[in-house]
Structure 1
């Protein structure tokens, strides 16, 4: 650039120099302006100019290199800025995730505390419930033991009275006079009933024997509580047979009981599907075997021939229910007792003595008692 400027200045001054006939033209050649025409050496000013031009060229190169490095640094800085923004975004996302995890952890801790509190509360309630059930079962066991003792005492009392009645009957055979025998029998009837403490069962008048209505008779209420209700409980405290409904039906008319074969027993609908006035059926039960509808005792289909099967219903509109031999004996004993009560109420026993009626009453109560406690194979309460 400097050389071009010098050459331009020389060209501008050339006409004037020529006109003045400068001595420079003798030394400087137009073809070689940097070299002396006389000694053929380079002029010092030109050398300085060349050095400056060389330095300028080097500095320009260095400037270009520095610009390139600056541009590379700017690119690197932009890249680092992008990386920083990316890292910042990731860091923010990680912070959000950690905050969410911390929140969930705190929420899980709270739920765990709540569940632990509920668990302890339920455990305490279960323990209290079990204690309460245990106390109730203990009380029920004691009550059952007391009832068993009373039943045994009553059985012994009934046996002793039966023996005394048998002795009285044997003694009465020695009387020759029929009138004396009738008077003795009447006295024995009155004495036996008075000694039995059951005069509330029936009272005797000259023309007929009268039985109070069952709902008003203290003795029948006592029999229902001591004999009939335990019989219709079928030895299973969880039996779903409606005892009160059965007692109400049997008091007015007998129920239907039939002996059936195994094939008929299989064809009887399970109690879950049957319609019966005496049976309560929850919806969630499913019966898969031959099962007595009264006591719940199951009979295996692999060995069914050792069992006798019966079917039972209160009224003709009900479906048949499958029962076993022991439950059939209980039902028969209760039906016989209620039939005896109905016959007295209808006046069918006016030709019988008070002593005979009382003996039959005792026999029927014994029959209900034995139907509950006798389970020997092949034993039937009809033999009692």
Structure 2
């Protein structure tokens, strides 16, 4: 019995030792697994931190690019503002200079206009004086009844030139001494205006019998006469052919053109044989038409 008890006691002691060794093995296994887990956790955390660091670097790089572009945009905007400011300043300076030039030009034109007006007033005064003197001379030469021409008062040289012209009537300037004299003494002076170019065109149109004049009465017709070049009442206009424009005329310019047209109309009638009066009557009519050209030129 005692031996059995001893054997059992030894067996129990051996079991206890086995249990102790089993616990030690378990503790060792648990400790090894924990170390592996901690190692894996550290690896994952490091990788995550590296990835986060890389992302932050990329974000910083992107922000740097945005900042650089913003700075470039700001510099470009500043340059554009400076250029615009300079351009506006130059434009304003140019406008001021143009305004000064326009003002100076207007003042110069006003000065010239005033001088021209003064000269025209003086010329008009002298012309009126000459007209009055001419009227007195004409009145002293008139007969008590009329202005009929007699054989004692006509210019025999001019009359002979007229007779020679009637043998072969022609209205061209150099066709005869008679027409040449009237051109130089009456027609050309009557059609001599400040606008020389238009004056020549008017004469050429009259010679072609291609002149149309008409009244254009309306209020406020203070405009520039195309021939005289003065601002005055322009109640008439003239056209020098079908394709010509209309030219505004003052009464004085219209009367001078009309006087020359009347002369050419009568000369053409004589040329065509439509005037059946005697040579003396025809000559007297021409003298009358020449007088009308002289009066028109003087503004009478």
Residue in 2 aligned with 1:245? 201
CA drift of 1:99 comes to 1.4
Pick aligned residue for 1:314 from 237, 240, 245: 240
**In the aligned structure 2, how far is the partner of 1:121 from the partner of 1:110?**
16
Any idea what SS the aligned residue of 2:283 has? coil
Q: Say whether 1:212 aligns with 2:163.
A: no
Q: Say whether 1:342 aligns with 2:264.
A: yes
CA drift of 1:109 comes to 1.9
Tell me if the contact between 2:213 and 2:236 (Cα under 8 Å) persists in the aligned partners.
yes
Residue in 2 aligned with 1:77? 50
Unaligned runs of at least 5 residues, structure 1: 1-22, 36-41, 190-202, 233-241, 261-289, 297-308, 371-384
Question: Where do residues 107-146 of structure 1 align in structure 2 (5 Å cutoff)?
Answer: 107-121=80-94, 123-146=96-119
Residue in 1 aligned with 2:71? 98
Pick aligned residue for 2:17 from 2, 16, 33: 33
**In the aligned structure 1, how far is the partner of 2:215 from the partner of 2:86?**
63
Calculate the aligned-residue CA RMSD, in Å: 5.3
Q: Say whether 1:224 aligns with 2:191.
A: yes
Q: Say whether 1:360 aligns with 2:286.
A: no
Question: Where do residues 282-293 of structure 1 align in structure 2 (5 Å cutoff)?
Answer: none
Cα deviation per residue 1:184-205 (whole Å; 9 max; x = unaligned)? x56xx9xxxxxxxxxxxxx954
**In the aligned structure 2, how far is the partner of 1:259 from the partner of 1:226?**
20
TM-score normalised according to structure 2 size: 0.58
Tell me if the contact between 2:212 and 2:239 (Cα under 8 Å) persists in the aligned partners.
yes
Tell me if the contact between 1:258 and 1:310 (Cα under 8 Å) persists in the aligned partners.
yes
Evaluate the alpha carbon distance shift between residue 164 and residue 246 of structure 1 in structure 2; reply closer, same or farther with a 3 A threshold. Answer: closer
Evaluate the alpha carbon distance shift between residue 226 and residue 342 of structure 1 in structure 2; reply closer, same or farther with a 3 A threshold. Answer: same
CA drift of 1:95 comes to 0.3
Pick aligned residue for 2:144 from 173, 182, 185: 173
**In the aligned structure 1, how far is the partner of 2:181 from the partner of 2:48?**
115
Any idea what SS the aligned residue of 2:17 has? coil
**In the aligned structure 1, how far is the partner of 2:76 from the partner of 2:181?**
77
Residue in 1 aligned with 2:227? none
**In the aligned structure 1, how far is the partner of 2:117 from the partner of 2:269?**
38
Cα deviation per residue 1:123-180 (whole Å; 9 max; x = unaligned)? 42453244234313431442244224313431342134224422442xx439xxx99x
**In the aligned structure 2, how far is the partner of 1:223 from the partner of 1:163?**
22
Residue in 2 aligned with 1:333? 255
CA drift of 1:102 comes to 0.9
TM-score normalised according to structure 1 size: 0.47
CA drift of 1:78 comes to 1.0
Cα deviation per residue 1:98-129 (whole Å; 9 max; x = unaligned)? 21431343244235424533542454245324
Evaluate the alpha carbon distance shift between residue 310 and residue 141 of structure 1 in structure 2; reply closer, same or farther with a 3 A threshold. Answer: closer
Evaluate the alpha carbon distance shift between residue 56 and residue 96 of structure 1 in structure 2; reply closer, same or farther with a 3 A threshold. Answer: same
Cα deviation per residue 1:68-113 (whole Å; 9 max; x = unaligned)? 2552343143124213302311321330232143134324423542
Evaluate the alpha carbon distance shift between residue 98 and residue 213 of structure 1 in structure 2; reply closer, same or farther with a 3 A threshold. Answer: farther
Evaluate the alpha carbon distance shift between residue 222 and residue 29 of structure 1 in structure 2; reply closer, same or farther with a 3 A threshold. Answer: farther
Tell me if the contact between 1:252 and 1:342 (Cα under 8 Å) persists in the aligned partners.
no
